[in-house]
Chains A and B, each alone.
Chain A
Amino acid sequence: MKHTAIMIISAIAMIVLAGCRKPTTNIDMTNDEGKPVIALDYRDFDKAATAMVESLMRSGVLKKKDGSRYVVATGRIINDTMQRIDTDQLMAKVEQEMMNSGQVVMTSAVGGRGATDVMIDEMRNIRDSAQAEEFAGQTLPEKGQLVAPELSMSGKIIQRNIRYDKDTEQIEYYFQLQLTEIASGLRFWQEEKIIGKRGDRRNVSW
């Protein structure tokens, strides 16, 4: 009798606890009305990327005098925040919009973290190795085919935590990008977008 009662109570407790769980929902990425979060989320990257792209497009620096397209490489984008951020969250949007504008072509051959597509180097290593015999010679990349970038996009994401009052922390995120002509070293464009948040000090921003 006692054993059965314990079993029933346990079963009820499990059902109640399971019922307390928040159901999983999909985020409406187009019209997200969710509350802001203290860390950087996709909405912040969207805002920063849009501000960067619009500033770059408006500046007119991507217009090449001879009418052709600039070859652009993504240099180093430093994550100087307390969060684990893949800087591609910002740069993928910026690069995509730059290419879609028809004014530039991005190179995957070189970049701040090496080639963005490892197969570019890999196929050249194969060409120069004994493995090359396994491939039809004319399908291997010849030497002197890669196009060097003319412009480099580099930048930084900075985080500053400031104590606002006893219970509130202010967190400032600085998104900085710059575009430099590789041959001359001259900087053609740069932009900064600041996103600020205030929240409970107990909220962790990493």
Chain B
Amino acid sequence: MKNTVAICVLVAAMLAGGCGKPSADERVNVASGVGSDTLMNNIILRPVAKAFSALIGEGIEVQQTTLRTNDEGFLELQVSGYNRSYSIRRFDYIVEWVDKDGMVLPSKTNVWQPMSVQPKSKFSILSIAPRAEAVDFRMNTRKQPK
């Protein structure tokens, strides 16, 4: 009887503890192992989730691209996304800017740039057009050469 009560109290405590989100503000990301364990993210389930994530091949997801013209008349680009995997994702990206005729504007900044994103975290890539003639962009990514 005493054991049953103790187990119930323990489960209740785990549930109560597990209900609390590591961050009350979604703009603040509390990494796994930094915040408190939850019912779905704890020392037992975490390795399973990681293995499952790797199995289904979770990775980078681009969620939004924002273009704006700054005060100097140059286009600025922000590519926002999310790393769905449980591991740090490192990749290279390259941004090319095109003019109104669709011609690529040659630039010394058209080079592969490295990017590194924490697991289960949002990221942003910023770029700026090299000339005021740019009206659009195109971007490519690749796995970083080892």
Q: Is the CB of B109 within 8 A of A53?
A: yes
Q: Is the CB of B108 within 8 A of A97?
A: yes
Binds B, one of A43-51, A117-125, A156-164: A43-51
Q: Is the CB of A33 within 8 A of B114?
A: no
Would A49 and B70 be within 8 Å (CB), given that A34-B145, A100-B131 are in contact?
no
Q: Is the CB of B111 within 8 A of A53?
A: no
Q: Is the CB of B114 within 8 A of A54?
A: no
Binds A, one of B3-11, B17-25, B122-130: B122-130
Q: What is the CA–CA distance of A33 and B92 in the complex, to the nearest angstrom?
A: 11
Q: What is the CA–CA distance of A97 and B128 in the complex, to the nearest angstrom?
A: 12
**In the complex, chain B residues whose CB is within 8 Å of the CB of A53:** 108-109, 130
A143 at interface by CB-CB < 8 Å: no
**In the complex, chain A residues whose CB is within 8 Å of the CB of B101:** none
Give per-residue flags for B55-92: 1 if the beta carbon is below 8 A from chain A beta carbons, else 0.
00000000000000011101010000000000000000
- Interface SS, A side: helix
Interface size counted on chain B using CB atoms at 8 A:
21
Q: Is the CB of A54 within 8 A of B128?
A: yes
Q: What is the CA–CA distance of A172 and B6 in the complex, to the nearest angstrom?
A: 56
B132 at interface by CB-CB < 8 Å: yes
Q: What is the CA–CA distance of A34 and B114 in the complex, to the nearest angstrom?
A: 14
- CB within 8 Å of B: which residues of A? 31-35, 43, 46-47, 49-50, 53-54, 57-58, 60, 62-63, 93, 96-97, 100-103
27 contacts between A and B (CB under 8 A): A31-B112, A32-B145, A34-B145, A35-B145, A43-B112, A46-B108, A47-B113, A50-B108, A50-B109, A50-B113, A53-B108, A53-B109, A53-B130, A54-B126, A54-B127, A57-B72, A58-B76, A58-B128, A60-B70, A60-B72, A93-B108, A97-B108, A100-B131, A101-B131, A101-B132, A102-B131, A102-B132
